[in-house]
Amino acid sequence: MLTKIYGSAFFGVEATTITIEVNVGSVGVGYHLVGLPDNAIRESNFRIAAALQNNGYKIPGKKITLNMAPADLRKEGSAYDLPLAIGILGATEQIKLINNPEDYVIMGELSLDGKVQPIRGALPIAFKAKEDGFKGFILPKQNAKEAAMVEGLEVYGVESIDEVIDFFDKNTSLHQTIVDIKAEFYEHLSHPEFDFADVKGQESIKRCMEIAASGGHNIILIGPPGSGKTMLAKRLPSILPPMTLTEALETTKIHSVAGRTKEHSGIMTQRPFRSPHHTISDVALVGGGAYPQPGEISLSHNGVLFLDELPEFKRGVLEVMRQPLEDREVTISRAKFTVTYPSSFMLVASMNPSPGGYFNDPDAPVTSSPAEMQRYLSKISGPLLDRIDIHIEVNPVPFEKLSEERKGEGSVVIRERVTKAREIQTKRFEELDAVHYNAQMGVKQIREYCKLDEASLGLLKSAMERLNLSARAYDRILKVSRTIADLEGSESITGTHISEAIQYRSLDRDGWFG
């Protein structure tokens, strides 16, 4: 007898429907699994045999052939245990398939006692199931809330294989998971865990972070150890505009594929903040590997990627970030596959001003030689620095500020101003597909939206000559000036906006990079 069961495989962040054909022959004995399965799937017969035996069923001693189509697409992981087991039971006529299995996508890993274990990629699989016209999706209970974020698809979370067997064999009902998507989304837009109100002093740095958030500008913080660089960076997501429902679903898909979503959780409502260690490899950062997985920059999609102590990262690792920063996506090409992951994120980096950490500090001795300084700073390449709009020096907070009882301005208040500035930019670029905020402007948009009057142009020219700013600073200053003007609701860029933007190009001045 031939039985067809449907599962799914994901490649990148998109899923593909898999047809599992189970055929029981009348002659011969054996268990033959074909269709390019990996080792985890090849071992599934042992898990399935034990799970069926412990629930009163068995894999009979007949010739059983299982084909996973399309046969040229590699299938990975243990999530096919449940559909394979149901296919075997149906093909060997141990159960009657009263409910048509062709109406459902079935996924789940089996324990030896028949319990169903959670899987990765539930959300993209649910999207694909709906797209392909399936009625429902049967999967582990831990993943049901995530899959139920897809409207128009019946989602059934199960805890053990006997629930699925009874559903198909005896037409018993399964509990459908129903989620009010909008209520779930807006309910969890809570007060941020890290708040700028906790930051003592550093008002100028907080202002700079507000500008960076408003225009989506990449930023680097330069300062000695203990000056608060990490504390400030962790609070940046709290002032970014709240995620839209579309952004939340995009972000959840990536984390779901990577197996990073929490059990029993639905949608991600907080912008991600990723902070990899400086020993990270280039593959772990951008993604890829023998079995493609999203890297840290894709896990930062719609959020913040924080690289602490930037010069400590391997130069090769930093260089692979150039294309994702420019294109807002990662394309990984190998001999057998090409996969693309979205990676639209804000880069926040921090570094000490010198190997010793106290360069330009009048109260600390300079312990680094000029050669050591040059070697330290040269780890950050010019092309990477080109993609960072704002450089700001962070000085230690004096004791008087640390001991103040008064709290600073909170993240919620700052976020309101940031959101208004982003709304101005959204309206400005509404007819452009690739540009949504100021940091994404190209040369054409800069010339159109960052026009200066004679006085402002003269000020910029004078500052660049006097401070010996590099050519790369010119467009960056104009972009940041446009954002400062948006924060004030100003149609035109004035000399005041230019003056403030010039302050945020520390690394372009003499004494840093020549």
Could you report the per-residue pLDDT of 231-244, keeping only the tens digit for each?
999 999 999 998 88
162 is a domain residue: yes
Establish if 321 belongs to a structural domain. no
Angstrom distances, CA of residue 447 to CA of 437, 471, 473:
15, 16, 15
Please state the rounded mean pLDDT for residues 301-305.
95
What's the chain's average pLDDT? 88
Asked if 504 contacts 390 with a C-beta cutoff of 8 angstroms, the reply is: yes
Is the residue at 477 inside a domain?
no
CB-based contact 457:450 (threshold 8 Å): no
Q: Is residue 361, in this structure, part of any structural domain at all?
A: no
Residue by residue, DSSP assigns 45-88 as HHHHHHHHHTTT----SSEEEEEEESTTS-B-SSTTHHHHHHHH
For residue 120, pLDDT beyond 90: yes
Tally the domains of the chain. Answer: 1
Which position has the higher pLDDT, 408 or 330? 330
pLDDT tier at 197 (50, 70, 90 boundaries)?
confident
288 inside domain: no
> Kind of pairing, strands 136-140 and 104-106?
parallel
Domain membership flag for residue 54: yes
* Residue-wise DSSP of 278-298: TT--HHHHHEETTTTEE-HHH
pLDDT in tens, 217-228: 999 998 888 888
CA nearest 345: which of 290, 397, 257, 286? 286
Tens digits of residue pLDDT in 13-34: 889 999 999 999 877 788 999 9
Q: Which band of pLDDT confidence, cut at 50, 70 and 90, is reported for residue 514?
A: very low
Residue 35 lies in a domain: yes
- State how far the Cα of 309 lies from the Cα of 279, in Å rounded to an integer: 11
Q: How many residues does the chain have?
A: 514
Residues contacting residue 108 through CB under 8 Å, at least 6 positions apart = 79, 81, 82, 83, 116, 117, 119, 138, 139, 140, 158
Of 146, 132, 123, nearest in space to 103 by CA = 132
Instruction: State the burial class of residue 261 (Cβ atoms within 10 Å of its Cβ: 0-12, 13-18, 19+).
Output: buried
- Chain position carrying tokens 């075997």: 88
Q: Does 158 score more than 60 pLDDT?
A: yes
The pLDDT tens digits for 385-433 are 878 999 998 888 776 666 676 777 889 899 999 999 999 999 999 998 8
Residue numbers of the domain that contains 90: 2-179
43 located within any domain: yes
Q: Give whole-number Cα distances, 118 to 9, 51, 437, 450, in Å.
A: 15, 16, 38, 51
Question: What pLDDT, on a 0 to 100 scale, did the predictor assign at position 211?
Answer: 97
357 confidence band (pLDDT: 50, 70, 90) = low
Q: Is 329 helix (H, G, I), strand (E, B) or coil?
A: strand
Q: What is the pLDDT of residue 182?
A: 76
Amino acid, res. 414: I
Contact 154, 174 (CB under 8 A): no
CATH of the domain at 96: 3.30.230.10
pLDDT beyond 90 at 468 = no
What pLDDT score was predicted for residue 513?
Answer: 46
